[in-house]
Amino acid sequence: MKLQTILLLLALAILQACNSGTNTDHATEMANHTDVELNTPEEVKAEKAATPDAFDATFADGITATIYQYYLKLQMALVNSDADDATSAAGNLAEAFGNDKPALRDLAQKVADAEDLEGVRSTFAELTTGLEPLFTDGITDGVIYKQHCPMAFDGAGGDWFSDVSDIRNPYYGDKMLKCGKVVAEIK
């Protein structure tokens, strides 16, 4: 009787071992047939960070919301090091100010008229400083992240606003994309 039990257990063990080998072969076969898509470095670099169509912040008036939306488009164009998109967004931003805030409108127009990316970036820093009271006073819900890069402008540093806490540096673009930190949350 003991011999039959031992033989039965041995047969079950052999069957189990054979079945687990079949599953491994099947898993290996499936892995060999899986399609993988790889992007070249050029394709990865060509993908641009997108400006969101919506953001969490709510403002007391529609004009400030429009200004913030164009500001984010300008900021993202600088992240992408796209001078054409940056000057276009700055032109839209200047128009959004209308006659309400002539000093800010003129700064936005100065960004739009800049001849190169570095000119756009330096004026963007001035514009950011000028916009802080408008955003601070106008926000009614949500959060705006004030971010800072200590290395911008030869170590003088530069601030910008973002709708997300992730750092996307507009002053260096892809050279130092994540250089910076959140220094304040405007609520």
Q: What is the pTM of this model?
A: 0.71
Which pLDDT belongs to residue 27?
A: 41
The answer on pLDDT for 51 being more than 50 is: no
What was the pLDDT predicted at 4?
64
What φ, ψ does residue 165 adopt, rounded to 5°? -80, -20
Q: What value does the CA radius of gyration of the chain take, rounded to a whole number of Å? A: 28
- Report whether pLDDT(71) > 90: yes
| Structural domain count of the chain | 1
Residue 48, sorted as left (phi over 0), alpha (psi -120 to 50) or beta, turns out to be beta
β-pairing, 144-149 vs 181-186, is antiparallel
Asked whether residue 163 is domain-assigned, the answer is yes
Note whether residue 24 is domain-resident. Answer: no
Instruction: Summarize pLDDT for 93-146 with one digit per residue, the tens.
Output: 999 998 989 999 999 999 999 989 999 999 999 999 999 999 999 999 999 999
Look at residue 35 in the predicted model and tell me its pLDDT: 37
In a domain, 143, yes or no: yes
Of 44-48, 63-67, 160-164, where does mean pLDDT reach its minimum? 44-48
| 137 located within any domain | yes
Collapsing DSSP to helix, strand or coil, 4 comes out as: helix
Both tokens of 114, joined, read 């800049």
| 1-12 pLDDT per residue, tens | 665 666 555 555
Residue-number span of the structural domain to which 107 is assigned: 59-186
Structure-block tokens of residue 63: 């004009």
Please tell me what DSSP assigns to residue 51: P
Domain for residue 26, yes or no? Answer: no
In a domain, 40, yes or no: no
**Average pLDDT of 152-181?**
95
Which one is predicted more confidently, 169 or 41? 169
- Per the listing, tokens 């998109």 go with 85
Residue 50 lies in a domain: no
Q: Where are the beta strands (DSSP E) in the chain?
A: 58-59, 139-141, 144-149, 158-162, 181-186
pLDDT at residue 70 above 90?
Answer: yes
Cβ-Cβ contacts under 8 Å for 60 (sequence gap 6 or more)? 138, 139, 140
Q: Which of 184, 59, 76, 185 is nearest to 134 (CA)?
A: 59
The answer to whether residue 178 is domain-embedded is: yes
